[in-house]
Amino acid sequence: MFPRLILLCCCLLAAASTTAASPQALERLIAEGRFAAAASDGQALLEQQPKQLRVRFLTAYALQMSEQPEAAIALYEALIADYPDLPEPRNNLAMIHLAAGDYDRASRLLVDAINTHPSYATAYDNLSRIYKAIASEAYRRAVSESKEADKYAHDIELVAIDRLAAVEQGLIEEAAGSEASAINTANLETLLIERVKNWAAAWSSKDFATYVGFYSPQHKAKQESHDAWKAYRRERILRPGDIRVEVSDLKIRWVSENTAIIDFRQAFDSPTYSDRVVKRLAFSRFGTTWKITDERVLSVL
């Protein structure tokens, strides 16, 4: 009886380990910024489902973001071979080559992405950034002695997971029968735009409790913990003097049905400091609420 019990426990543990990961779980890990964990779970899931498009793409993206470019390259190249009409793997692969300073290869991949899907705005945007980077790099080398390639991948758009889900379900004809979905998306975008405006208003009015409530409990930016980040922001926001934060030109990009990226212009004024920047906020859905999971400045105006 006892050996049978051991065997049963082993079987149950094996079954649990094989069902622990899922595409949805990988998405959650990515939305939380836990890229190494997502890469590890994705590779394990690929051993069970080696041909599933979404798992392959999510795993490649997680590997890319956890600084495992060689493994990511292998997955992206296999995806390009199996799905030559998809622009997303080419786009992300281009960003790996861009990070390595190979502007030529990155540009060719983006041009191919545009040729496979002419309406894929991300590739157009990234290609424009590359051309600007090439011009900037040429100038930098002309006025300095450094020959080392600079890195321009930090503000590049990488992923559009939602379209891949549609591909897997045979729904690549995006307009067909999508009226209800379009209405829902429009409502969500209106909600998220309002959240960004309310976030800026809370910041401007120094309503600190409301301001920090817009962020996920895991958000810590460059601090050691969420609490350390809150203490840092409290000290800066509650300094004496009025502040003004205005946002404009908001643009939304969907990473998945539960994650959105919003780029916008931000004007900040205080008695001691002012700036004008292009900023990016990443929002993820937590239950019925959308929280900020990442915040970064893309460029100074």
Residue 155: the pLDDT is 40
3-state helix, strand, coil in the chain (%, to 5): 55, 15, 25
Residues 231/267, Cβ–Cβ less than 8 Å = no
Would you state the structure tokens that stand for residue 242, as one six-digit string? Answer: 């009025």
Measured from the Cβ of residue 301, the count of other Cβ atoms closer than 10 Å reads: 9
Q: Report whether pLDDT(20) > 60.
A: no
Residue 178: the pLDDT is 46
Residue 29: the pLDDT is 86
Mean pLDDT, residues 171-199: 67
d(CA 42, CA 62): 8
Backbone CA torsion sign across 238, 241, 242, 248: negative
Ordered by where they begin, the domains of the chain are 17-168 (1.25.40.10), 181-300 (3.10.450.50)
d(CA 195, CA 192): 5
pLDDT digits (tens, 9 = 90+) for 267-292: 999 999 999 999 999 999 887 789 99
Q: Report whether pLDDT(17) > 50.
A: no
208: confidence class by pLDDT, cuts 50, 70, 90: very high
DSSP state of 206: T
Q: Residues 182, 88, 107, CA angle at the centre, nearest 5°?
A: 130
Q: Is 194 exposed, middle or buried (0-12, 13-18, 19+ CB in 10 A)?
A: exposed
Q: Report whether pLDDT(2) > 60.
A: no
Q: Report whether pLDDT(28) > 90.
A: no
If DSSP codes are grouped into helix, strand and coil, which group holds residue 151?
A: coil
Q: Report whether pLDDT(196) > 50.
A: yes
Residue 267 main-chain phi, psi, to 5 deg: -110, 125
Query: H or E element: which one contains 242?
Result: none
Q: Report whether pLDDT(229) > 80.
A: yes
Residue 3: the pLDDT is 43
Q: Is 280 exposed, middle or buried (0-12, 13-18, 19+ CB in 10 A)?
A: middle
Mean pLDDT, residues 134-144: 56
Q: Report whether pLDDT(134) > 70.
A: no
Question: Which residues is 262 bridged to in the sheet?
Answer: 252, 281
Residue 275: the pLDDT is 94
Residue 182: the pLDDT is 52
Residue 41: the pLDDT is 92
C-alpha distances in angstroms, 89 versus 37, 47, 92, 116, 131?
Answer: 21, 20, 5, 11, 20
Lowest mean pLDDT, pick from 3-12, 139-148, 192-201:
3-12
Mean pLDDT, residues 186-203: 89
Would you state the structure tokens that stand for residue 230, as one six-digit string? Answer: 């809150």
Residue 226: the pLDDT is 92
121: confidence class by pLDDT, cuts 50, 70, 90: low
Residues 127/110, Cβ–Cβ less than 8 Å = yes
Residue 185: the pLDDT is 66
Q: What percent of the chain has pLDDT over 90?
A: 37
Q: Amino acid identity, residue 224?
A: E
Query: H or E element: which one contains 245?
Result: strand 244-256
Residue 63: the pLDDT is 92
Comparison of pLDDT for 172 and 128, the residue scoring more: 128
Strands 274-286 and 289-300: antiparallel
Comparison of pLDDT for 84 and 226, the residue scoring more: 226
- Sole residue written with tokens 């998809």: 86
Q: What percent of the chain has pLDDT over 70?
A: 71
Measured from the Cβ of residue 99, the count of other Cβ atoms closer than 10 Å reads: 18
Residues 77/61, Cβ–Cβ less than 8 Å = no
Average pLDDT, the chain: 78
The model's pTM is 0.48
Q: Report whether pLDDT(193) > 60.
A: yes
Lowest mean pLDDT, pick from 45-59, 103-117, 148-162:
148-162
d(CA 240, CA 194): 27
